[in-house]
Structure 1
């Protein structure tokens, strides 16, 4: 049987170069000084631990100027960067996520009592609709927001409005990106990496719906590229800004249940269909299925990094600008508006997936109405998810080669 590091009398003993630390919420995490990586699970036992309660008698906590936390016992003249509660850490008996919110919950109610000061959220498509409501809600609780949007004028207007409403007490940044252009995504990622050291919430919210068959400048069907392929590129390129505290949130849809992608033998033609086989609704369904498949596969690939990846459905036919491209959908969304979620309710599941402490250590899960929901059987197919990943990498590689990168 393979073991990590030398044999030891205690399976709970850490291998060389590993160190235990405690998050502000009491979750134990593990730092590997050799690889500079972190994870929530013990490197030997693969179990999670948690500390509870106050510091032991005689100990106090001090935050130094550089942000490091120092623990001091004045009576014994001891100083340590190790939380003394680690001696009493308990293994978590498994995750039981209790439902605290539902379809009527709002983003603000989900965030009640939280302090997101120091957190950074990058949200695509955040200048209108659910993305804007998500950004506003997180900003109101202290989170710094990167507005990743195409329309400069519209985005600067909403940033101005939020700043005025908050009387300047918020950190909001616009970095332009056109998800219909990989060249634009390259430039966007470079700007983000130049300006930020970390991202806590990477929220893939932008989407496209109800348009005629359209090819992007990269020669890819527009709905697929905007909803999936460009997000795939951005996450991979910003990977180094994410750590075990980070979460990737993929806004999908219940429409993924009506997709018609094959179980095996996935090809470029299935994802970026020709005009003769195109139907806007099915293109959207397939793109949303790609969102769930991608979230599950990314969760598996990054599980050892401790990064949580979740996909979600925000709500049925919520009144946003998603339907603006076709009069029939505008009319339909208008007629059902009294029976659908408000934008605050639609943003609740995204905010919950990004900030809920009870989801720490979980990954690759689909949510609806702020709770775990089983996605379609097709979206749970690991082979199909791997095929999508490999094909997405190939398509990105071809585009980059075409532009000489």
Structure 2
């Protein structure tokens, strides 16, 4: 089992003579060992604490010879009478956004998932045969998650599945490949239909990770700039098509970028076309705009689906992460080569995605933008509700013109 950096707040430390205990049904209480008095609230903060309903991943409970609960770590064989769930106790939230930062930019996805059991959970991840997406899939699979790896290259995806099984001892029965070419809206629709046949009941986690960076202008079969379509429009369409599988508690994660702060929407609304035009094309602006659209789409959908209990958030995985995205132009390769010693590893880059997709304290949290495993304020353009409405509306129209209104009628009628 991997090591984890467990968080600690000075005000959360117990006074001398106090210990933390748990009941069989998972409630936390505190004992004063000097007089054996007990109470439900923390003696220093006066707040209640809660622990997960289930044991951390890798632990089981048995009884000793005296019928006293004994906890055993399956991998190491270590035994303890202390409920391991107490290591993951959190202060009971008065508001859905009442959570503190437990991780930072140096945290890995494995550390985020320490003790988390994802058995019985179902996830769909786009762009996950390499890079950050691969590390995301590997991390979730290591903890028992059932995953559909949605990629364009099926041969590379199969290789990725074999690597994940070898590196994590995950079951290959929990990992399935499904074809998705984000440069084709037709392929997006076909993939969504295929997902529904495999995960016919529900999706717990939908991670929109795939993306392209620094491409010269190139039109897709849908007559759209490839960067715009792959990074934004196809992911938005895919998410809308999968809405029937998203239930109360499902999480949708848009992998955006801090580059959304470099977006320029000059003449976008006048031309009623969000894709960057061929004339005066800028690969960097096209990328920044597409990442802004990710944040906006997440915010709009978070409002639309809040009443259903579907949580939709966006995030930045890390600055200058060395992946295959930079291979589109030699200048980017050189830039990333020079900066590589100062960048995140792929495991660190996957941490925020994994955190937003699984963290217990984010239950019910929606409409936020995360960086380094904590929420922060996105760019002003992303916070402008009029702009957000216009971006979403034009995106819908662009989809409708090419694919009709099947399965997205409620949004067409509203926007």
**TM bucket, shorter chain:** 0.7 to 0.9
Aligned residue for 1:322, secondary structure, equals helix
Q: CA RMSD in A?
A: 2.5
Task: Give the superposition deviation at 1:92.
Answer: 5.0
Residue pair 1:264, 1:384 contacting (<8 A) in 2 also: no
Q: For 1:289 and 1:365, locate their aligned partners in 2 and report how far apart those are by CA, in whole Å.
A: 13
Residue pair 1:149, 1:178 contacting (<8 A) in 2 also: yes
Q: Which residue of 2 aligns with 1:388?
A: 391
2:160 aligned to which of 158, 170, 173: 158
Q: For 2:198 and 2:51, locate their aligned partners in 1 and report how far apart those are by CA, in whole Å.
A: 37
1:208-247 matches, within 5 Å, as 208-247=212-251
Q: Which residue of 1 aligns with 2:118?
A: 116
1:178-217 matches, within 5 Å, as 178-196=181-199, 197-217=201-221
Q: Which residue of 2 aligns with 1:127?
A: 129
Q: Which residue of 2 aligns with 1:93?
A: 94
- Normalising by structure 2, we get a TM-score of 0.74
Task: Give the superposition deviation at 1:169.
Answer: 2.6
Q: Which residue of 2 aligns with 1:104?
A: 106
Q: Which residue of 2 aligns with 1:7?
A: none
Q: Which runs of 4+ in 1 moved over 2 A?
A: 50-55, 164-170, 262-269
Q: CA 1:160–1:103 in 2, change beyond 3 Å: closer, same or farther?
A: same
Count of residues paired in the alignment: 323
Task: Give the superposition deviation at 1:25.
Answer: 9.4
Q: Which residue of 1 aligns with 2:258?
A: 254
Q: For 1:395 and 1:285, locate their aligned partners in 2 and report how far apart those are by CA, in whole Å.
A: 19
Q: CA 1:152–1:297 in 2, change beyond 3 Å: closer, same or farther?
A: same
Unaligned runs of 5+ residues in structure 2 are 1-24, 28-47, 54-91, 409-415
Task: Give the superposition deviation at 1:185.
Answer: 0.7
Q: For 1:153 and 1:268, locate their aligned partners in 2 and report how far apart those are by CA, in whole Å.
A: 38
Task: Give the superposition deviation at 1:273.
Answer: 2.5
Aligned residue for 1:219, secondary structure, equals coil
Q: CA 1:163–1:375 in 2, change beyond 3 Å: closer, same or farther?
A: same
Aligned residue for 1:245, secondary structure, equals strand
Task: Give the superposition deviation at 1:52.
Answer: 5.7
- Normalising by structure 1, we get a TM-score of 0.76
Q: Which residue of 1 aligns with 2:175?
A: 172
Task: Give the superposition deviation at 1:268.
Answer: 3.6
Q: For 2:237 and 2:296, locate their aligned partners in 1 and report how far apart those are by CA, in whole Å.
A: 15
Q: For 1:156 and 1:361, locate their aligned partners in 2 and report how far apart those are by CA, in whole Å.
A: 34
Task: Give the superposition deviation at 1:132.
Answer: 0.3
Q: CA 1:96–1:305 in 2, change beyond 3 Å: closer, same or farther?
A: same
Unaligned runs of 5+ residues in structure 1 are 1-23, 27-49, 56-90
Q: For 2:268 and 2:380, locate their aligned partners in 1 and report how far apart those are by CA, in whole Å.
A: 14
Task: Give the superposition deviation at 1:211.
Answer: 1.1
2:333 aligned to which of 330, 334, 347: 330
Residue pair 2:125, 2:147 contacting (<8 A) in 1 also: yes
* CA displacement, residues 131-163 of structure 1 (integer Å, 9 cap, x when unaligned): 000000000000111101001111111111212
* CA displacement, residues 142-200 of structure 1 (integer Å, 9 cap, x when unaligned): 01111010011111111112123344535111000100001111110111111112111
Residue pair 1:133, 1:344 contacting (<8 A) in 2 also: yes
